[in-house]
Each structure stands twice: as C-alpha cells, then as structure tokens.
Amino acid sequence: MSTPSRRRLMRDFKKLQDDPPAGVSGAPTEESIMHWEAVIFGPQDTPFEDGTFKLSLLFSEEYPNKPPQVKFVSKMFHPNVYADGSICLDILQNQWSPTYDVAAILTSIQSLLDEPNPNSPANSQAAQLYRENRREYEKRVHAIVEQSWMTFSNEDSDEAVDQTETAREESPIAEHLGFENIENDAEEGMGGLMDETQDSINEGENEDNDEEEEEEGELRNANETDTSLD
C-alpha cells in the first residue's frame, strides 16, 4: 500500500544511499518501511569516538508531519538520553518540522552526543557528572563505547551462525538426503571400505599359504627323486 508517508520514506532512503552523511547510516527493516534501524558512529575527537551505536526509528502514517519515535538500542550514557534509550531532542519534539528527513534526524543526534544540554536532562546522573566531574563522565562514556564494540561483535557472531544454519537447511544435498542420511552413508561407506580391505588381506594370506604348500610339495618330490637315484 502506497501512502504519502511511505513514499516520503522511500525518498529519504534513496537520499541516504545517494548522499550519505558522514558517520551515520540507516535503512528500513525487512518487515516494514515504517520501522528503520540505524547506526551512528561516535564523532571524532570526542569521548564517543569509535563508538558504534544502534538506534531504532518507528514512523507513523503521519510522517513527515509528525516525528518518528527514536531510541538508542545500544546502551547509552548521556545527559539527554533516557534509561530506555529515548532521546530528549528538540527536533523530535516541539521543534519538529516536516522539512526534516531521516538524514537530518541522525546527524542531529550525532551532534547531540558531544553537545548535550545538561539543563534539560533525561539522565540526571550523566548531567551532573557532565557539569561537575567531566573526567568521571568521560570515563563512563568510554565504558559504553567499548560495550558497543562487544555488542556488534556478538551480533556478527550470531549472524554468522544463523547464516551457516540457513545454508545447511537450504543445501540441495541436505534437502534431498538429510544430514542423518549423509552421515549414515559415510559410515556405511567407511564400513564397506574396511570390509574390502580385510578381504584383500585374507586373500593375500590364502595366496601365501598356497605358495608355501606348493614349495613344500616340490621339495618333497625333489627329495624322493634323489632317494630313488641312490
């Protein structure tokens, strides 16, 4: 179903692909164009540098007349981010304008990371540390930066496992025979090879015995001949 909001989101997506802003990326999920996943990289020369922070954007059919619901999925320690990841940002609230698109939303959030507003805190502890103990504040930020790496590393591993399992399930051989049949065939093949090897050994032993008996017979005949000559 094509609606004004969905058509607008398609234009937003095309713009992000054709002219992506530095340090941000985003795309609709496979389930719906109304639900996006995004990543913001921590700005350079800030405590958030090298962080990789995931976000979720949920749009309604009233977009772009109303802003989306935006949350950090990654753990965040920031004066203007609530415990559930919701973001206290003016353009997502009373300063929203239909001219803003997804790229503008993500770049504004990226700027907010290093330019918080401690006078309108969503996290009072982070706001207090930012004002009174900047060293401790940056220490806490560095901790969530490192945690963002671990989160992405674990997700990559899970994705690799999922892809491997999917490949196995979709394998034509597996689909035709099944993994258990493949393993059984391998075991049967190995068993047959061992049987053939043992048969060859037995045949070799029988041939050796026949040769020994033949040599003994020839030797007896030779002895009998010598005796008769004497």
Helix (H, G, I), strand (E, B) or coil at 36: strand
Does 221 qualify as catalytic in the annotation? no
pLDDT bin (cut points 50, 70, 90) of residue 67 is very high
Q: Kindly tell me the sign of the dihedral angle through the C-alpha atoms of 193, 198, 203, 204.
A: positive
State residue 55's pLDDT score.
98
Q: How far apart are CA 168 and CA 10, in angstroms?
A: 34
Catalytic choice (70, 87, 88, 127): 88
State residue 154's pLDDT score.
60
CATH topology of domain 4-153: Ubiquitin Conjugating Enzyme (3.10.110)
Residue ranges covered by each domain of the chain = 4-153
Q: What is the mean pLDDT of the chain?
A: 79
State residue 153's pLDDT score.
62
pLDDT bin (cut points 50, 70, 90) of residue 212 is low
pLDDT bin (cut points 50, 70, 90) of residue 150 is confident
